[in-house]
Structure 1
Amino acid sequence: MNHVRPARWRTRWRRFHARLSLRTRLALSHVMVVLVAVGAMSGTRELMNGPAHDYLDPDAMGLWSGAAAAVVAAVVMSRFLVRPLDTVRAATHRLAEGRYDHVLDLPSEPGLAALVADVNTLAAALADTERRRARLVSEVAHEMKTPITILRGQIEGLADGIFAPDDAMFASLTDDLDRLRRLASDLSSLSRVEEGAFVLHRKRFDVAALARATAERLRPQYDDQRVALTVAADTPAITSCDPDRIAQVLVNLLGNALAACDHDGHVSISVRSDAGTGPDAPPQVLVLVTDDGVGITAGDLNRIFSRFERLEHPGRPAPAGGSGIGLTIARGIARAHGGDVTASSFGPGNGATFTLRIPMAPM
């Protein structure tokens, strides 16, 4: 039974301690330090001068007066130390309510300044996420509005006898339905990218052969826009991948390169194996898509992989029909394979190179 009572007291102490605010704990800790110091000084005084029974002795009065002043200072200091934390706490409540526009001033204490800076960074990130969420709704509504409006007009025209139900009309209806289907597919792929829920059907496959087939599939579009497309993928590059997903990445990269070029431009796609050096650089299959088009500024090289980010170039309209999530999906597919997609450019007007990296399959 003896061990039950200490356990009960420990439980009560924990409950009492949990009810105390941080400010109270700091004040009590300072007070305890002061009392221990006073007690030590009193004990030292008695050892040196003998027992002192006169509590009105000037030395004793000075000692206790100093202790009282120290206690008051401890309470004041605890309030001063906790005030920045109260400010951070209020800021987190505002973030929870969806208010991201308030920026906290950095305190002078380095540790608290780092905490406040992190809260400000979190607020900025949440504000950017909210902006993208609103833009998502706007972009999806815009992308769906046009084909739906066209479909409605065509169907009403067919019903009223204005349009003839011929092959051209049905082809137009099919194009608009395909546009809606592609948008729905892109949004579904984006959702899987952000959830990390891509299902890959891996098998050993030659990425070089896949690059050649994808280039030939898109060559008619290149010919229509008078953009030259060269392929350097003669050496097999075998790896374990989902060929349908990798083809999706290649279609996106080649499509973006085509959109970046003017007439008589040039795009190349090459595939090679990189043996890598050291444990941090394993063997990889590299696919490089290079164009001589509009180029990318240094500040946009990573931003273009964010969802719904479509670069605007002066005097050049944005590609029609793009949803702004193709590169986000492409990078998500590459990372699901353990690789990545990166971009490089020498700046506006100097073209760009997109590199797909896929870990090499063990032989």
Structure 2
Amino acid sequence: MTSTLRRRLLVSHLAVALVGVAVLVGIGMIVGDTLLSRQRRMNGGMGMRPDTTSDAVASILPSVLIVGGLAAVIAAGVAAILVTRSIMGPLSSIQEASRRIADGDYAQRVPTPKDSELAAVAHDIDALAHRLAETEARRSHLIDEVAHEMRTPLTTIKGSMEALLDEVVEPGPEVYARVADEASRLQRLAEDLSTLSRAEEHSLSLHASPIDVANVAADVAARMRTQFEHAGVALAVEGGPGPTVGDPQRLAQVLVNLVGNALGHTGQGGKVTVTSGSDATTSWVSVADSGPGIAPEELDRIFERFYRVPDASTPGGRGIGLTIARSLVQAHGGTLTAASKGLGHGATFTMRLPRGD
């Protein structure tokens, strides 16, 4: 394709030069002959002898035009080659860099050409390579984290089974319960990863209908109130209606995650407040806790897959709950954000959805 473009550029430049030269020679011959004939007639009418200078000019004019035309063609050819090289050089660099990126060398960068149009293309390819590198890094990290998450329950199950086979332990409800718990943990991990994958690929099935997120929040709080009572943490539900259009089951899944996360990070005697409301364009639910808070540098990372806040106290957390929650909210056309005034000041998670009266 590159050689074809090179030939087209050369041929187009030469074609333009040839047309220009042909027009120049043709017009020069016609105009020159007309002017010389008029000059001869004027001299003859005045009784003057024929102008030998005019005859000489008439005899050499075709040769001058032809030689000049050939020189113009040669000059145009040289210029066409130089211009083509100036265009094809950066294109060749872009092509070579694209090939290396396609082969997996995402660190490859395209030299920035001087032409603004080609520079824009090079910038776009560099941006593509950067995004591919990030995607590959996330994929590798995901594989490592999934393997890590699976290793613990599999090790527990394997150890329990080997202990039973070797008759190190007696079969009984305690052993069976431990194996069942770890199997359930694996099942939840698989389900969470499936939900996350479908949400990020925008293939998640949503059964949307007009709802009030305040009612969804109240139902979630009612379901989880017993857990709060056992933990010695106060749970308050406040605010007004929040009309929207969404899947109540999926939004409840989001709020269960947020409220459960708040409970896990709030110690005995603390408080979690669930507040709902709406404005002219959005309906929202916020979950605020009086827990240890989140450091500013952690706020941008807590929604990453498998990321855990250092020294997080939530037992058994897999680090993908908030990622799933944000993906589900985004599937509804909304946003999920986190805010904290810093360590020791608690945290607030806010889900915002398009208002739907």
Deviates more, 1:152-161 or 1:45-54: 45-54
Does the CA-based 8 Å contact 1:261-1:294 persist in structure 2? no
Query: Of residues 323, 326, 336 in structure 2, which corresponds to 1:331?
Result: 326
Residue identity opposite 2:187 in structure 1: R
Structure 1 residue runs of 4 or more that deviate by more than 6 Å after TM superposition: none
The change in CA–CA distance for 1:115 and 1:300 in structure 2 (over 3 A counts) is farther
Query: Of residues 344, 350, 354 in structure 1, which corresponds to 2:349?
Result: 354
For residue 250 of structure 1, report the CA deviation from its aligned partner: 0.8
Deviates more, 1:112-121 or 1:77-86: 77-86
TM-score (normalised: structure 2): 0.80
Does the CA-based 8 Å contact 1:346-1:352 persist in structure 2? yes
Where 1:34 maps in the other structure, the secondary structure is helix
Please, what is the CA RMSD of the aligned residues? 3.1
Is 2:24 the partner of 1:41?
A: yes
Does the CA-based 8 Å contact 2:93-2:111 persist in structure 1? no
For residue 263 of structure 1, report the CA deviation from its aligned partner: 6.4
Is 2:87 the partner of 1:81?
A: yes
Task: Deviation per CA, 1:17-56: give whole Å up to 9, x if none.
Answer: x997111111112112222222232234224422866588
Residue identity opposite 2:24 in structure 1: M
Deviates more, 1:248-257 or 1:201-210: 201-210
Residue identity opposite 2:274 in structure 1: I
Does the CA-based 8 Å contact 1:295-1:345 persist in structure 2? yes
Task: Give structure 1 stretches of 5+ with no counterpart.
Answer: 1-17
For residue 338 of structure 1, report the CA deviation from its aligned partner: 3.2
Query: Of residues 15, 26, 29 in structure 1, which corresponds to 2:12?
Result: 29
Instruction: Trace 1:248-287 onto structure 2 (pairs within 5 A).
Output: 248-259=253-264, 266-274=271-279, 276=280, 281=281, 284-287=282-285
Does the CA-based 8 Å contact 2:213-2:284 persist in structure 1? no
The change in CA–CA distance for 1:35 and 1:239 in structure 2 (over 3 A counts) is same
For residue 182 of structure 1, report the CA deviation from its aligned partner: 0.8
Task: Deviation per CA, 1:256-288: give whole Å up to 9, x if none.
Answer: 3345556665432211122x1xxxx3xx32111
Task: Give structure 2 stretches of 5+ with no counterpart.
Answer: 35-57
Larger Rg belongs to: 2
Instruction: Trace 1:1-363 onto structure 2 (pairs within 5 A).
Output: 21-50=4-33, 54=60, 57-58=63-64, 60-219=66-225, 222=228, 228-233=234-239, 235-259=240-264, 266-274=271-279, 276=280, 281=281, 284-292=282-290, 293-295=292-294, 297=296, 300-301=299-300, 304-306=302-304, 308=305, 310=307, 312-313=309-310, 316=311, 321-346=316-341, 350-362=345-357
Distance (Å, rounded) in 2 between the aligned partners of 1:58 and 1:82: 35
For residue 304 of structure 1, report the CA deviation from its aligned partner: 4.1
Does the CA-based 8 Å contact 1:296-1:352 persist in structure 2? no
How many residue pairs get aligned? The number is: 333
Where 1:171 maps in the other structure, the secondary structure is helix
The change in CA–CA distance for 1:107 and 1:296 in structure 2 (over 3 A counts) is farther
Deviates more, 1:337-346 or 1:115-124: 337-346
TM-score (normalised: structure 1): 0.79
Q: What percentage of aligned pairs have identical amino acids?
A: 41
Distance (Å, rounded) in 2 between the aligned partners of 1:341 and 1:84: 44
